[in-house]
Structure 1
Amino acid sequence: MQAQINGGRNQGLDAKQQHIVPIATFTAKGDLPQLNQTLHKALDAGLTINEAKEVLVHLYAYCGFPRSLQGIKTLMAVVDARKTKGIIDKVGKGATPVSDSGSKYERGKKVLESLTGRPETSPKTGYAAFSPEIEIFLKEHLFADLFTRDIISYADREIATISALINLGGVEPMMQSHMGIALNIGITEAGLMQIISLIDAHGGKKEAEVAKQVLAIVINSRKK
């Protein structure tokens, strides 16, 4: 878990992380032709097949299965097309098997605590109180199943998540929450601005303007 967190401590996005932003952007938008081109560029830049696939798998938690599955099918087509041209891309490592046999809920809770930097001890409120079953699903599946897959780091997952949320629109509270998590695990303000700039550069000017406003709120709240 600590290694996952340490993976986010940098001054900006590294070369591979810069490709995660457009992958998440076009997956969220369902723009498969642009996603196809983006995946070619990401593989050329050294992203492994498993890393690209893991980003697309992760995104189903935020974009839904339809967008995620279409993204995975697009990656399959890209890999096959490259093979016909004699390009053999690196598959990359798989996920390390989970050795913790304890409660999946408790495991997910620990992951969430490491992301937010806050203990999960308060009485359930809001959606968690209204729909306790979805709170369980979030802990057991999103945080215990998905986040513990170490093919990509926590930072990579938050970059993908924030990029998708910016492009989905209308989910500013979640965007604000995940920007706070990103800062907590070591992604800098400069890194978050880089995500927004990349989305702007890929045709999301309106979405980027909203994201800038949300980031300003996050930064101001942390200063207070």
Structure 2
Amino acid sequence: MKNERYEAGLKQLRALDAAAADGVLSSLETIAPEMARFIVEFAYGDVYARPGLDLKSRQIATVAALVALGNAAPRLQFHMGAALNVGCSPRELIEVIYVVTVFAGFPAGLNGIRVAEEVFRERNISVSWDRDEPARGDRHERGLKALAEISRVSGQDVVESLSDIAPDMGDFIVDFSYGDVLSRRGLDLKSKEIAVISACVARGTMTPQLRVHIRAALNVGCTQEEITETIMQMAVYSGFPSALNGLFAAREVFEAPSPD
């Protein structure tokens, strides 16, 4: 039976991709009609329809989580297409995948690129790249600058904590994570941190890194509400336990004195 939650959820879902959404729902009617109702009422009526995070940011969060999880290519394909429909550019989607690669690994990133390639091919989309981007000055200096801007003291503490056991790993963090990836143009810093938070929550194994990047999200302009909404949305994609763990980590950060 349709109700206000269902109607609100269906409106949100169809705003992403009406034809694909109707196809997903109709495919469930003969085998699991209640699953179709759960998707519409909970995922979109209860979660996506909430204020506090714009639809484009919600799609960035979802794409990041699904790339990080690496186990739901059809859903990732739907949400990449939906992201394009609500204002994400093709390059922004690729940049989200680059960011997630730092936190979920190259296999997850490569799988995400393959799905993006299929979505772009279906829509006859090509991505425009700045070929001079990789050569923007010394990567270590670029990484240090990005680390200071994004993660500040929390990030520097992580790098320094490795000095007695794996100093090269500290260099990898500065040079690759920040110098090669997080400093890239093409995706704003708030969106990058929403992607990082989503990936960390979805994977469920990175609470210390999640705390660092919740602080980083605050540093680059995310509000506590935006961070909380991002984490709550992960209940849909990686389950309630991972979202609850993420919320507990966020509360610790919000209540702690700033380390800067």
TM-score by length of 1: 0.82
1:41 is displaced (CA, Å) by: 0.6
The two structures, once aligned, show a CA RMSD in angstroms of: 2.7
Given the alignment, which residue of 74, 78, 102 partners 1:33? 74
Query: Against the structure 1 CA distance between its residues 125 and 45, is the aligned structure 2 distance closer, same or farther, given a 3 Å change threshold?
Result: closer
CA contact (8 A) 1:96 1:150 kept: no
2:60 maps to a residue whose letter is: I
Q: Could you tell me how far apart the structure 2 residues matched to 1:43 and 1:113 are? A: 31
CA contact (8 A) 2:52 2:225 kept: yes
Query: In the alignment, is residue 74 of structure 1 matched against residue 110 of structure 2?
Result: no
1:79 maps to a residue whose letter is: F
- 1:76-103 deviations in whole A, cap 9, x for unaligned? 11122233xxxxx5746647636753x4
1:175 is displaced (CA, Å) by: 0.6
Q: Could you tell me how far apart the structure 1 residues matched to 2:250 and 2:154 are? A: 24
Task: Tell me the residue number matched to 1:55.
Answer: 96
**What stretches of structure 1 of length at least 5 have no aligned partner?**
1-10, 84-88
Q: Could you tell me how far apart the structure 2 residues matched to 1:123 and 1:157 are? A: 19
SS of equivalent residue, structure 2 residue 163: helix
Moved over 6 A (4+): 119-124
Query: Against the structure 1 CA distance between its residues 223 and 147, is the aligned structure 2 distance closer, same or farther, given a 3 Å change threshold?
Result: closer
**What stretches of structure 2 of length at least 5 have no aligned partner?**
1-50
SS of equivalent residue, structure 1 residue 128: coil
- 1:117-166 deviations in whole A, cap 9, x for unaligned? 43988897432331011111111111111122110012111111110010
1:46 is displaced (CA, Å) by: 1.9
Task: Tell me the residue number matched to 1:209.
Answer: 244
1:198 is displaced (CA, Å) by: 1.7
1:206 is displaced (CA, Å) by: 1.7
Given the alignment, which residue of 182, 192, 217 partners 2:227? 192
Task: Tell me the residue number matched to 1:164.
Answer: 199
Farther off after superposition, 187-196 or 115-124: 115-124
The number of aligned residues is 208
CA contact (8 A) 1:95 1:149 kept: no
CA contact (8 A) 2:55 2:86 kept: yes
Task: Tell me the residue number matched to 1:181.
Answer: 216
Q: Could you tell me how far apart the structure 2 residues matched to 1:44 and 1:36 are? A: 13
CA contact (8 A) 1:116 1:181 kept: yes
1:204 is displaced (CA, Å) by: 2.2
Between structure 1 and structure 2, the one with the greater Rg is 2
CA contact (8 A) 2:196 2:213 kept: yes
Query: Against the structure 1 CA distance between its residues 202 and 148, is the aligned structure 2 distance closer, same or farther, given a 3 Å change threshold?
Result: same
Task: Tell me the residue number matched to 1:21.
Answer: 61
Q: Could you tell me how far apart the structure 2 residues matched to 1:200 and 1:120 are? A: 27
Q: Could you tell me how far apart the structure 1 residues matched to 2:253 and 2:67 are? A: 25
Task: Tell me the residue number matched to 1:105.
Answer: 140
1:66 is displaced (CA, Å) by: 0.5
TM-score by length of 2: 0.72
Query: In the alignment, is residue 43 of structure 1 matched against residue 79 of structure 2?
Result: no
CA contact (8 A) 1:59 1:160 kept: yes
Query: Against the structure 1 CA distance between its residues 91 and 98, is the aligned structure 2 distance closer, same or farther, given a 3 Å change threshold?
Result: closer
